[in-house]
């Protein structure tokens, strides 16, 4: 049987951030740290430096490879806060994490170039943009100048409008077309390392999310790492008729499928369980 690295990942093996390399030849776990009062699952639980640092400690001990820090809730109909407020939420937390954990890879979950710039100055290594560069094209220039990887997610509309933006001719082909255009724009600005995120739950119905998961391996055509963010999302808890707090088992099931379809990074709330999935699949594929 093929080696696990070849079975569940593909040609692109590394990402570089300001001279540091992260090996993505086997799947990695990105732990979610929301510095927000209103995120759909953990809003309000990590809003102080003390609670945020404790959460990071727990995720790193559980096996997280990187931490994704967000100060703007992207749940449907979330409040549209100012750039200043978003920076005030994330900047001190980033500095505190970087001070205690100087080697950990940090990602900033933002679609605003100014927030990304401030986050990089504070110590962030990756930009994770839910708009794929559509909301603020200047973000490509920020990534290029700082020489950090850029995670490009697909979304139509905004968190405030995306529930009304679910019309597609062919969801997978439409997303491939989106990435073709945005990758070209990013490359023209000098972005070297790009990660693709199909954007589960963003401007997509439950049926569309599952169709996208079934066909996610089509994104391998770009020869770029793929990030899957399905953790505790509505495609799971609404389908099962449970609450987000009860969606861990469903999340684990979809993580297996996402890895089999080519995901190289799992963005998760529950690091231990995601790491277990990767370990078990690695042994299964030997």
CA dist., res. 268 & res. 65, Å (int)? 11
CA dist., res. 86 & res. 150, Å (int)? 19
Please report which residue ranges of the chain form alpha helices under DSSP H. 4-8, 49-62, 83-100, 113-122, 138-146, 171-189, 206-214, 234-240, 248-260, 271-284
Torsion of CA 128, 63, 43, 36, to 10 degrees: -40
Helix (H, G, I), strand (E, B) or coil at 153: strand
| Burial state string for 3-12 with b = 16 or more CB within 10 A and e = fewer than 16 | ebbebbbbeb
Catalytic residues: 233, 267
Helix (H, G, I), strand (E, B) or coil at 152: strand
Opening angle at CA 251, ends 247 and 252, nearest 5: 125
């Amino acid at each position: 049987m093929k080696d696990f690295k070849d079975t569940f990942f593909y040609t692109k093996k590394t990402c570089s951030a300001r001279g540091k390399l992260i090996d993505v030849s086997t799947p990695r776990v990105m732990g979610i740290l929301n510095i927000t009062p209103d995120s759909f699952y953990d809003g309000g639980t990590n809003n102080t430096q003390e609670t945020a640092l404790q959460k990071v400690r727990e995720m790193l001990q559980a096996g997280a490879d990187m931490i994704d820090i967000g100060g703007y809730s992207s749940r449907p109909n979330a409040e549209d806060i100012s750039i200043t407020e978003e920076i005030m939420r994330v900047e001190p937390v980033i500095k505190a994490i970087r001070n205690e954990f100087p080697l950990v890879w940090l990602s900033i979950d933002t679609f605003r170039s100014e927030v990304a710039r401030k986050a990089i100055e504070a110590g962030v290594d990756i930009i994770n943009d839910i708009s794929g560069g559509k909301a603020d094209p200047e973000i490509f220039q920020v990534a290029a100048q700082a020489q950090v990887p850029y995670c490009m997610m697909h979304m139509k509309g905004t968190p405030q409008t995306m529930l009304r933006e679910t019309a597609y001719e062919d969801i997978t082909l439409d997303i491939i077309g989106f990435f073709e255009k945005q990758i070209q724009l990013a490359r023209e600005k000098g972005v070297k390392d790009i990660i693709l995120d199909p954007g589960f739950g963003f401007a997509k119905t439950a049926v569309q999310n599952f169709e996208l998961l079934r066909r996610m391996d089509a994104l391998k055509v770009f020869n770029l790492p793929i990030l899957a963010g399905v953790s505790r999302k509505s495609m799971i808890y609404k389908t099962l008729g449970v609450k987000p707090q009860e969606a861990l088992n469903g999340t684990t099931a979809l993580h297996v499928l996402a890895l089999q379809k080519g995901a190289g990074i799992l963005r998760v709330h529950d690091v231990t369980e995601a790491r277990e999935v990767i370990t078990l699949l690695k042994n299964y594929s030997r």
